Chain A
Amino acid sequence: MSSRGPAALPRVAILDYGAGNLVSIGRALEVVGARPVIVTGAAALRDVDALVVPGVGAAAPAMVRLHRRGLVRAIRGWVAAGRPLLGICLGLQLLFEGSDEDGARTLGILPGRTVRLAGAPRLPHIGWNDVVRRRPHWLFDGIADGAAFYFVHSYVACPAGAGASQLVVADTTHGESFASAVARGLLAGVQFHPERSGADGLRLLRNFVTAATLGGPADAVRAVAAAGMD
């Protein structure tokens, strides 16, 4: 840690569990002022300020790899400690309890399941679609309500239980409406790909890095209070 001066960039771990393209998210984090670190095991999480769980594809093989690398307990512990995590696409879906895609049992950090996007005119849902805010949230600071982000998926996380509505930050509609952004404290997840969503995507990543750096809760509370919500 001696190499880190007071002005050191926030270190953001990108979890590498074999789920595809890490180049874009790494570079996008650099562009917004973070120092990305590719992490393949739990030990490396000790030295980072925030965690990004990217990924595309199916839940079951992803969970196998996470288990094999000791990352399931590590992620649960990370979230339980209130530390900042951003799940992207599959990384969002894995936060929930299970997936209908292949029956996988997932991390179980958030209540609800991943289900097929029924009623969609065409699947996979590929392209830019509107992300409509359900409540003000620091994740979307400086981003117009309804701005389009890039999606590529066929399954969506479906929050359940009493806290479901508080969890959902934004919705998107493709045939039916689904939760495209969820958050609880410094834990956030987006179904779209901010690293592929141009300037607004970069802004969202910057908001996450900023919240993570500030220790976030204060920032989050301030944003919510400013909007007159509880």
Chain B
Amino acid sequence: MLRVRVIPCLDVADGRVVKGTRFVDLVDEGDPPELAAVYAAEGADEIVYLDIAATPRRRGTLLDVVHRTASRVFVPLTVGGGVRTVREMRDVLRAGADKVSFNTAAVLDPSLVRRCARRFGSQATVVAIDARRRVPAAGVRTDGGAAADPPAWEVVIRGGREPVVLDAVEWAGEAVAMGAGELLVTSMDRDGTGSGFDVELLRAITSRVTVPVIASGGAAGPADFVAAVRDGGAAAVLAASIFHRRIHSIAAVKAAMAAAGIPVRPVPEAAR
């Protein structure tokens, strides 16, 4: 049976991991490959790098980080942030990534997804969707209809700074039609709040598409991961700060998922 993946996400800028990490016994706490290796040893099923300071000028730094990671970490590696062309995707794959995720660039030009999927396959082409709950206009509904309205989400781009007129669930369907083989869905409402994944958003998208969906944004504790899978239909769960700050270990998250009847890959003996 296919195991549900638990994925730590590392924000990378200028070749360094940013945001606080509290790992001890590391030679260099800010070195992405070193952190990735620790997570892999602890049972991470995949590693995601998000290049949050992506600029073409610094592309070489990212490629070096990817290469050094692929050279020592033998679990899958997904890289996102600032990839805008088929050629850039090729470079990231050649450096040692297994998948590349597209966010803003895909919204601005959905044909990019099709071209990349055609060249490298859907299985290597991930579309990341940052979604935010649409707030109903005040005063529009005075008949009590608002309560019955299904929730809706809009897409935000440029690192969550810019909303666009695009329904997140519709966009999910279009991205898959264009060739995306996986979606990484982040709730911007929940991201960084520790209030749990937006299970409704996940359910809306996993009901709409048949590709695997990675849940992201808002994980606080093991119960949130269970809900994202059981109620949201997620094929994988991603988190950053709760792992980086050592609030919960990957082993603890997996133990909770297993106890809830969700199939997970056992963590290596040494990490138990």
Contact = CB atoms under 8 A, between A and B. Distances in A.
Given A124-B212, A126-B235, A27 B123 contact: no
A128 B265 contact: yes
A198 B74 contact: yes
Contacts of B72: 27
Contacts of A28: 74
Interface in A86-140: 121-130
B268 A199 contact: yes
Contacts of A23: 67, 70-71, 94-96
A195 B74 CA distance: 6
Contacts of B120: 20, 56-57
Contacts of B210: 121-123
Contact of A56 (B3, B40, B123): B123
A27 to B, nearest CB: 5
A21 interface: yes
B1 to A, nearest CB: 6
Contact of A174 (B2, B45, B67, B122): B2
A122 B211 contact: yes
Given A122-B235, A126-B235, A196 B2 contact: no
A interface: dominant SS: mixed
A57 B121 contact: yes
User: Nearest 10 CB-CB pairs, A to B?
Assistant: A23-B96, A57-B121, A23-B70, A124-B123, A128-B3, A128-B265, A152-B123, A27-B71, A124-B181, A148-B265
B74 A201 contact: yes
A201 to B, nearest CB: 6
Given A20-B124, A124-B122, A127-B45, 10 more contacts: A21-B96, A21-B97, A23-B71, A57-B120, A126-B182, A128-B265, A148-B265, A174-B2, A197-B74, A199-B268
